[in-house]
A and B are shown apart, each in its own frame.
Chain A
Amino acid sequence: MSARAARHGALHLASILVGAAIVVPIVFGVLGGFKDNGQLFTNPFGLPDPWIPGNYTDILGSGAFWRQAGNSVGIAIATTVGVVGIGAMAAYIFARYAFPGRETLFTVFAIGLMFPFAVAILPLFVLLREMGLLGNPLGVVLPQIAFGLPVTIVVLRGFFRGIPPEVEESAVLDGAGPVRFFWRILLPMSRPALGTVSVLAVVGSWNNYLLPLIVFNDSRWWTLPLGVQQFQSQYSADTARILAYVTLAMIPALLCYAFAERQLVGGLTSGIGKG
């Protein structure tokens, strides 16, 4: 019994140590934002003394932060609606219709899982320039949709296949065409899978950096990652202020995570975790 207790203690200790390694940098950021640079130098670990909310209030009072957050939200929503809608339509065909070349086409999409923005960014830049989409949020949204399609299609096809064919048969007998079946029956039945791919799309869009970096020259459309980096180079000597900005930029992502943890984790481990 005591050996078990010891093992249990070691377990706790290890978990706490790792948890601390994760949390300490974040707490350093949050508290650092409430200090000034002198305090950061002399008192990096402790609570701020005195608390200086100025860094936070300055940022929250500036239009730039809110504009960037708004841009991030708008672009994330547009991307998610687009990629889930278009991806679901394609996944429906891949799951339910047989036609020559279907598997080849699906494989092309699946290989797309391996394409990162980094590979395509140069020609993408050239293409977007030709299409007049530089400086336009569509220049970020459309490529994000395109690059998000593989994961969306792969997940949704798997889910759609699991829905019994009898459901579709009876819908067709009741006179529903494919569009009606898709819209009124298939999508409502697929809420869990749609939730998963939506969360993936939101997180992907929210965190994207390279694409907005090359598309938006003008700070009007900047998203939070661009704003954070720009803020860092602008105030490079003012560590406390940058920490406040980083903290404020972290909060939406962490809140969203706390809210949608199951969906996100379920999505990431689905298909892998079964082993």
Chain B
Amino acid sequence: MVIIERRPAAPARPPVRSRSRRRRPWPTIVLFLAPALLLFGLLVLAPIVVAGYASLFTWNGFGVPTQFVGLENFRRLLTDEIFAGDLRRTLLLVTLSIGIQLPFSLVLAMLLNQPLRGRRAYRLVFFAPYVLSEVVTAVLFTMIFSPNQGLANHITRLIGLGDLGATWLADPDTVMYSLFLVISWKYFGFHTLLYLAARQSIPPELHDAAATDGAGPWRAFRHITLPLLGPTIRISVFLSVLGTVQLFDMVWVLTGGGPIRSSETLAVTMFQEGFKRFHVGYASAISMAIFLISLFFGLLYQRFVLRRDLEGAVTTMGDRR
């Protein structure tokens, strides 16, 4: 889900093995690895292969797929206005997250790094929504956005905006922004905490030295804190984008993709096609699209953005040897 391994700066310690003691390691290897391989292969890898296979057929999901159509499902996907809309909406959410949610988290993390009474309590509170399930969050906010008894409209009326926001989730023009609001409510604390942990692992001597040299808080932030937070920021962007590409629970419960499909995401379209309309072949093609987008983004990002972090070049202030 969330943890990315950082390759150790020093070469990994070679496993202890001496010929005399462990003459036959293979039975142990097989015994210990078999359950993981079996489950992972059968329930994670195989389904993705099956999805790839099924995407080449027109299939309702029952029996064995027989009606082979080659890449027709993918051709249809590329001309599908709904699919194009899914991509646009994903891009919108990614942009909003990177442009608003993450900078906000960064500022907050810097605040929480200051000596502040009750800092621990704030930390606890900010992170709390992260442990709530997306469904529970979504149902709660459905109530908050409810036109009559909801909290959201009461607040806009209270601050003099009237019924400006009467149609949070019901208006195609506002639904994505309302969705973004809920996503931010749930996840900004998570990013804040990542940044805070990274900030606190910067050795204080660096900032002390900068202060001695006469650097103000802004310059210290710009030239010391920010560069050293780089790896964490890059990983938080990575997680945020992947999470957005694969978004389902929240949207499904909050809006069902509506009104008139204006909040549908890739996974929601896949679910609609596969489980509601039984266009399993076509839905599998959407699955593959989600998979390929995630994989390509993941690999490219690791190759070009995370690479220097994984090599431990700029990051491992603490354990550079």
Q: Once the chains bind, are B125 and A254 in contact (CB under 8 Å)?
A: no
| Contact residues on B (Cβ < 8 Å of other chain), bracket | 35 or more
CB distance from A228 to the nearest CB of B (A): 5
Tell me which of A8, A87, A114, A273 contacts B36 (CB under 8 A). A87
CB distance from B28 to the nearest CB of A (A): 5
Whole-angstrom CA separation of A204 from B26 in the bound complex: 33
Question: Chain A contacts of B275 at CB under 8 A?
Answer: 122, 125, 214
Chief secondary structure at chain B's binding surface: helix
Q: Is A98 an interface residue (CB 8 A)?
A: yes
Q: Once the chains bind, are B228 and A127 in contact (CB under 8 Å)?
A: no
Q: Is B116 an interface residue (CB 8 A)?
A: yes
Question: Chain A contacts of B231 at CB under 8 A?
Answer: 272, 275
A-B contacts counted at CB < 8 A amount to 316
Q: Is A118 an interface residue (CB 8 A)?
A: yes
**Which residues of chain B (6-22) have a CB below 8 Å from chain A?**
6, 8, 12-17, 21-22
Q: Once the chains bind, are A97 and B25 in contact (CB under 8 Å)?
A: yes
Q: Once the chains bind, are A265 and B51 in contact (CB under 8 Å)?
A: no
**Which residues of chain A (203-217) have a CB below 8 Å from chain B?**
203-204, 206-210, 214
Chain B proximity mask over A150-191: 1 for CB below 8 Å, otherwise 0 = 010111011001000100110010000011001000000000
Q: Is A135 an interface residue (CB 8 A)?
A: no
Q: Is B54 an interface residue (CB 8 A)?
A: yes
Q: Is B112 an interface residue (CB 8 A)?
A: yes
Closest to A203 in B: B131
Q: Is B248 an interface residue (CB 8 A)?
A: yes
The number of residues on chain A lying at the interface, defined by a beta carbon within 8 Å of a beta carbon of chain B, is 111
Whole-angstrom CA separation of A261 from B193 in the bound complex: 12
Contacting chain A: which of B74-82, B169-177, B284-292? B284-292
Known: A168-B16, A239-B143. A200 touches B197 (CB 8 A): no
Whole-angstrom CA separation of A79 from B35 in the bound complex: 14
CB distance from B159 to the nearest CB of A (A): 13
Known: A122-B287, A124-B43. A44 touches B151 (CB 8 A): yes
Q: Once the chains bind, are B43 and A142 in contact (CB under 8 Å)?
A: yes
Q: Once the chains bind, are A225 and B198 in contact (CB under 8 Å)?
A: no
Q: Once the chains bind, are B2 and A268 in contact (CB under 8 Å)?
A: yes
Contacting chain A: which of B83-91, B134-142, B204-212? B134-142
Q: Once the chains bind, are B32 and A209 in contact (CB under 8 Å)?
A: no
Q: Once the chains bind, are B309 and A275 in contact (CB under 8 Å)?
A: yes
Chain B proximity mask over A44-65: 1 for CB below 8 Å, otherwise 0 = 1100000000000000000000
Tell me which of B26, B35, B117, B126 contacts A89 (CB under 8 A). B35
17 contacts between A and B (CB under 8 A): A24-B151, A26-B140, A89-B33, A93-B33, A97-B25, A112-B44, A122-B275, A126-B280, A146-B39, A154-B5, A165-B16, A168-B16, A253-B131, A271-B5, A273-B198, A274-B198, A275-B231
Q: Spell out B's residues near A (CB within 8 Å).
A: 1-6, 8, 12-17, 21-22, 25-26, 28-29, 31-33, 35-37, 39-40, 42-48, 50-51, 54, 61, 108, 111-112, 114, 116-118, 122, 124-129, 131-136, 139-144, 146, 148-151, 154, 185, 189-190, 193-194, 197-198, 200-201, 228-232, 235-236, 242, 246, 248-249, 253, 267, 270-271, 274-275, 280, 283-284, 287, 290-291, 294-295, 298, 309, 315-316, 318-319
Excluding A273-B198, A274-B316, 20 further A-B contacts by CB distance (< 8 Å) are: A41-B148, A41-B149, A44-B151, A89-B32, A90-B37, A93-B29, A97-B29, A109-B36, A113-B3, A114-B242, A114-B298, A120-B44, A125-B275, A126-B61, A151-B3, A250-B132, A265-B193, A271-B6, A272-B235, A275-B315
